[in-house]
């Protein structure tokens, strides 16, 4: 055995002495709990608002999707803090970890101010898509309050991704739990007007979310600045470093654009395509999204752990172990999401009844849960293998594929079916959307399986060439 091989084995063993499944679950477990806590926050918001009627949760759901289509760009870029810190963690270059954390925070601050420029356009947007005046007013209110906290949200994302990369997932989970708890408590008082507070309805839910995110961010910042982490990982190196920022943007911009393309497309699908069938169809669609988040958010937690593990083992010179961890992550997520899909189908009427007693919403929602259950396995495929590709720095082609397929099939195809065959109702667009999910999942899996990501290097000078390299591997250059 060569000296280099022995060093690689030593690096891999030092990074994790555990069995593969144990290693994955130790990292993914807190991340899954974090994502589950976000899901609970969204679920609780929607449930509380549904006590006020159908319009309120519909407005919050639609506006939340549109708001995240803006915030999500920054989130996608900052997910790559995980990639870069993980790879340097694998190389034991701990000082670089803190530098990349702060490039992420600087980006989050700058993008947070940029996001504020969207606030004046919110009322006109929801009126332009011809939502009823009362619904459009609530949507604009929720959007403006949520987007105003973009800077805080993105700072929390950068801090959380850094801590995951340096193997501190329990701290991330604890911060998320505190944030969710704060959100739930504030919602109780602000949505319904308990404790002497005014009943703010949709606005109260938005402010509750912002307060929860602020609590989470402050806890994460406190952890990052503790003496042990500060000394080892250089977390007081706050300087804006153009070369490192360029590195982050090189792999982060495609990741951000991918999230924007995905979320904005689903937002338009919800408040534009489904709007052709009325407010009750939009409400059923929002309730479906809340249940789907129960499956895909924990799977996203697994994917985030896979991102860290892929980056970590690439940094240690073991892409073969990176590949094994990606497949293992898919097996775990696929099993979980398939089980969720069966529950959605078999218990669809009971599940939808938790949100509403409106007979038309119940009818449409029960039918939509069947579609939600059908493509769960392919959604797991997309989520986990996309996370694996991100860990290697392969973000450009997945972003292009997501944008083309999502906008071409889910939005464009969904709208054409809604217009061409209105008698099919909400089932028409969702048939097209299910086909989109299957195609995208298969594409991302095949790209990972092809192995081009193993030839991407994010070290030294090569890192600034990651986007052209991704394009070259895809045959686009």
Three-class secondary structure of residue 281 per DSSP? helix
pLDDT in tens, 352-399: 999 988 999 999 999 999 999 998 999 999 999 999 999 999 999 999
Which pLDDT score is estimated for 47? Answer: 86
150: Cβ contacts below 8 Å, ≥ 6 apart: 70, 71, 74, 111, 112, 115, 116
CA 406 to chain centre: 16
DSSP class per residue in 408-439: IIIIIIHHHHHHH-GGGTTHHHHHHHHHHHHH
Which pLDDT score is estimated for 471? Answer: 34
Contact 380, 335 (CB under 8 A): no
Which pLDDT score is estimated for 17? Answer: 53
Which pLDDT score is estimated for 178? Answer: 92
> End-to-end distance of the chain based on CA atoms, in angstroms?
38
Which pLDDT score is estimated for 457? Answer: 75
DSSP class per residue in 208-263: HHHHHHHHHHHHHHHHHTSHHHHHHHTTT-----HHHHHHHHHHHHHHHHHHHHHH
Rounded CA-CA distance 405/383 in Å is: 15
Number of C-beta neighbours around residue 431 at 10 A:
17
Which pLDDT score is estimated for 90? Answer: 87
Q: What is the DSSP letter of 465?
A: G
Rounded CA-CA distance 13/23 in Å is: 11
Q: Angle at which helices 169-192 and 20-50 pack, to 10 degrees?
A: 10
Q: What is the DSSP letter of 270?
A: I
Q: What is the DSSP letter of 458?
A: -
Contact 440, 401 (CB under 8 A): yes
Q: What is the pTM of this model?
A: 0.77
Which pLDDT score is estimated for 112? Answer: 97
Rounded CA-CA distance 296/299 in Å is: 5
Contact 57, 50 (CB under 8 A): yes
Rounded CA-CA distance 250/238 in Å is: 20
Rounded CA-CA distance 68/458 in Å is: 29
Give me the helices (H) in 316-394, please.
Answer: 319-346, 348-353, 359-374, 376-392
Tokens read off for 228 = 């042990």
Contact 458, 96 (CB under 8 A): no
Which pLDDT score is estimated for 74? Answer: 94
Residues of the chain falling short of pLDDT 70: 1-18, 34, 37-38, 459-477
Tokens read off for 456 = 């991407």
């Amino acid at each position: 055995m060569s000296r280099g091989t022995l060093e690689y084995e030593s690096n891999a063993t030092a990074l994790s002495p555990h069995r593969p499944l144990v290693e994955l679950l130790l990292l993914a477990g807190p991340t899954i709990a974090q994502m589950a806590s976000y899901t609970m926050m969204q679920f609780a918001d929607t449930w509380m608002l549904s006590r006020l009627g159908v319009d309120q949760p519909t407005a919050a759901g639609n506006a939340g999707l549109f708001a995240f289509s803006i915030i999500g760009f920054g989130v996608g870029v900052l997910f790559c803090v995980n990639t870069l810190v993980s790879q340097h963690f694998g190389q034991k270059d701990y000082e670089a970890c803190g530098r990349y954390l702060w490039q992420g925070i600087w980006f989050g601050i700058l993008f947070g101010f940029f996001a504020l420029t969207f606030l004046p356009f919110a009322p006109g947007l929801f009126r332009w898509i011809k939502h009823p005046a009362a619904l459009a007013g609530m949507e604009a209110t929720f959007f403006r309050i949520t987007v105003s906290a973009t800077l805080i949200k993105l700072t929390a994302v950068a801090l959380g991704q850094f801590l995951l990369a340096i193997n501190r997932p329990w701290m991330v989970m604890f911060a998320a739990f505190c944030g969710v708890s704060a959100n739930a408590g504030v919602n109780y008082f602000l949505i319904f007007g308990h404790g002497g507070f005014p009943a703010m309805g949709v606005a109260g839910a938005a402010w509750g979310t912002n307060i929860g995110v602020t609590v989470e961010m402050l806890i994460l910042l406190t952890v990052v600045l503790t003496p042990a982490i500060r000394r080892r990982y250089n977390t007081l190196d706050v300087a804006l470093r153009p070369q490192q920022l360029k590195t982050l943007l090189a792999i982060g911009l495609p990741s951000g654009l991918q999230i924007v393309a995905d979320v904005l497309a689903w937002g338009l699908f919800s408040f534009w395509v489904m709007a052709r069938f009325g407010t009750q169809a939009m409400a059923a669609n929002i309730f479906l999204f809340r249940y789907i988040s129960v499956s895909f958010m924990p799977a996203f937690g697994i994917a985030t752990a896979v991102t860290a593990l892929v980056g970590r083992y690439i940094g240690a010179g073991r892409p073969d172990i990176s590949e094994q961890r990606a497949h293992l992550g898919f097996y775990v997520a696929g099993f979980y999401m398939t089980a969720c899909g069966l529950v959605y189908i078999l218990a669809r009427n009971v599940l939808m009844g938790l949100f509403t007693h409106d007979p038309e919403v119940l009818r449409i929602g029960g039918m939509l849960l069947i579609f939600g259950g059908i493509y769960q396995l392919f959604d797991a495929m997309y989520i986990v293998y996309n996370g694996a590709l991100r860990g290697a720095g392969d973000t450009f082609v997945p972003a292009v594929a997501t944008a083309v397929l999502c906008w071409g099939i889910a939005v464009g195809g969904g709208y054409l079916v809604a217009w061409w065959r209105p008698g099919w109702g909400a089932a028409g667009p969702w048939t097209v959307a299910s086909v989109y999910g299957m195609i995208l999942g298969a594409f991302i899996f095949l790209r990972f399986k092809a192995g081009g990501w193993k030839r991407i290097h994010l070290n030294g000078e090569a890192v600034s060439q990651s986007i052209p390299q991704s394009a070259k591997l895809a045959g686009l250059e």
